[in-house]
Chain A
Amino acid sequence: MSGLTSMTGAARAEILARTRAALTRAQPPGPVVRDYRTTGDLQLGSPELVALLTDRLVDYRAHVHPVGTEQISAAIAGIAAAHAGGAARFVVASDFATAWRQGWGAVEDHGLSPRELDETDGAVTTCRVAIADTGTLVLDAGPGQGRRAITLVPDLHICLVRHDQIVQTVPEALRRLDAGRPITFISGPSATSDIELARVEGVHGPRILHVLLISPP
């Protein structure tokens, strides 16, 4: 490896020298003008914003369930009952609220292998922020979310979104994120358009996405 490092060390110096040489005659560019929208028109927490997110999620074949806080366990249990003959086992992060685990089979993730994850029926997580304009859920491995693999390998993902986590635009979401964390933007179930550009939902990532939109108490 030391030979490799020294080889690329020389390349490093050379590439940097080349970029500097390439730019010797360059004009300094003008300022970056950012006249695009950085906030949406809809009020945070407003029914219109929730409706927009719902519309966009449904458009990309996610299943949306409006619930109150007290109905979370029952809603998950309902999905579990309809899945895997009622015996569904859903993986959760170890810090996923115990209050929401009533009436369905939760499996805590303490470093499950990919094969073990593959044997579960789904995953239940919270999220960091949701983007209404694009129907996007953003996960950043924060509380209740767990590591990235748990929302990837199982075939079903149930994501909990509080109304106050919904923003309208992409810039608003980015500005709530810490770049240092592992971040995943999820917009609908996995999909492909590689065959005649016809969209097929469900490829390698979860084929089924449920979103619980949790209204404030």
Chain B
Amino acid sequence: MKIALFITCLADTVYPSVGRATVAVLERLGHEVVFPAGQTCCGQMHVNTGYQRQAVPLIRQHVEVFEPYDLIVAPSGSCVGSVRHQHGQVARRAGDEGLATAAETVAARTYELSELLVDVLGVDDVGAVFPHRVTYHPTCHSLRLLRVGDKPLRLLRNVAGIDLVELPEADQCCGFGGTFALKNAETSAAMLADKMSNVLATGASVCTAGDASCLMHIGGGLSRLATSTRAVHLAEILASTDGTVEVRS
């Protein structure tokens, strides 16, 4: 199948390895990945910070770029959540019904990576090898906006050699919340501290999730604690065939 990659602005700029891993998994399964070059950002940060008017051109840009594709994937539950639940509404609030309708059409063809693999492509074993102790954090928007359920876990359970351990209080938010982490930094840090103690209690060497943003938060906290536990995106584990993930440089 031909699949358009919606990389998300964060993965594009800060975590290109997540994009490369997404491409690697899909190509290994025999699909054609295309990268529409006009894409920029879904506008979620603007909408969630209160700048809906400013987000409208971003939504228009996103819709125009992805409208020609029948199948779109993003390695982010949060950005897919924004596309599905915010684009139409923000366009409508701005009085642009045409954009709202077009946005809803694009949204209906847009999937988070685990949804695409399990629901659309019917795969729950992607042939990955990752012999490490891993714990999975179900990010809030994957869990509650997209209802991905146990799809990421089904994919992880089929990874060869993996020692998948349950994260205590997994459904609790890590405290990221976009600009919440800046505007209410101390509350956010208190939430992060509890998330990190739960991660460390598992003894996992890797904490994984389907969102680079939450992983930036959890990973940033783990790095500050100088622990050896790393935050690794789900796509990177699924792409791995030799038990390693790309080291960032």
Query: Is there direct touching of A and B in the complex, by C-beta distance under 8 Å?
Result: no
Residues of A within 8 A of B (CB): none
Residues of B within 8 A of A (CB): none
